[in-house]
Structure 1
Amino acid sequence: MAIVSRKVSDLSNKEAPDKEFVVVVVRQHPSLDEPKALDVLTAEATKFVEVDDLVMLEVQQPDGTKRDVVMQLAEFNKLAPNMEEVLKNARKTRGRVPGTRVGNGNGNG
């Protein structure tokens, strides 16, 4: 008796050798609550079209909830007349807030 393993595309159910497959990770989808991986034939993967000039944002609400937003770069740039300057002067997401300094709290700093 022999055990035979075969790989089929999650999209088309077509069988092919391992070397003809790519893995596509679906990171966000309305039907999902966690990322999922699809085994897809390389020829089928050409149907996934890359969209250029996207801005990926994380919106943090006052209550601590977060949501991810994707926008076209041109639409994002319209939000401020000088968006390039706004981004250049924006604070970083890590480290201390600008204008603060390290000290021991007793004024001897």
Structure 2
Amino acid sequence: MAIVSRKVSDLSGQEGTDDQFASVVVRQHPKIDQPKTLDVLATEADQFKGISDLVVLEVTTPGGGKREIAMRLTDFNKLGANMDEVVENARGTRGRVPGTRVGNGNG
């Protein structure tokens, strides 16, 4: 007796070999409380289209809690005047604060 393992797409149920499959991680969905992985044929993975005008934000609250928010660019731009300029002039997440210099001020 032999044990036979088959790999089938979670989308179509089509069978394929390991080298024909891609993994797709669903990080957020109203029906799940933790990330889930879908096995799909690489050709099926091409069906997943991104949203080109999406802004992804990470909000950290004073208590240290974090949440990720995705919103359309048009909605983000309604949050304040000249949001393109606000974002371009904002400080980076790494490195020095704009306008500061290296050194201890002694020379």
Q: TM-score range by the shorter chain?
A: 0.7 to 0.9
Aligned to 2:33: 32
Aligned to 2:52: 52
Post-superposition shift, 1:64? 1.1
Letter of the 1:75 counterpart: D
Note closer, same or farther for the CA distance 1:53–1:68 as it changes in structure 2 (3 Å cut).
Answer: same
Q: TM-score under structure 2 normalisation?
A: 0.74
Counterparts of residues 1-109 of structure 1 (less than 5 Å): 1-30=1-30, 31-33=32-34, 35-101=35-101, 102-103=103-104, 108=106
- Secondary structure at the aligned position of 1:80 is classed as coil
Q: How far apart, in 2, do the equivalents of 1:50 and 1:92 lie?
A: 25
Post-superposition shift, 1:48? 2.8
Q: Deviations over 1:38-69 (max 9, x none)?
A: 11134543543322210000011111111100
Stretches of structure 2 that go unaligned for 5 or more consecutive residues are none
CA RMSD of aligned residues (A): 2.5
- Secondary structure at the aligned position of 1:81 is classed as coil
Stretches of structure 1 that go unaligned for 5 or more consecutive residues are none
What is the percent sequence identity of the aligned residues? 63
Q: How far apart, in 1, do the equivalents of 2:96 and 2:46 lie?
A: 44
Q: TM-score under structure 1 normalisation?
A: 0.73
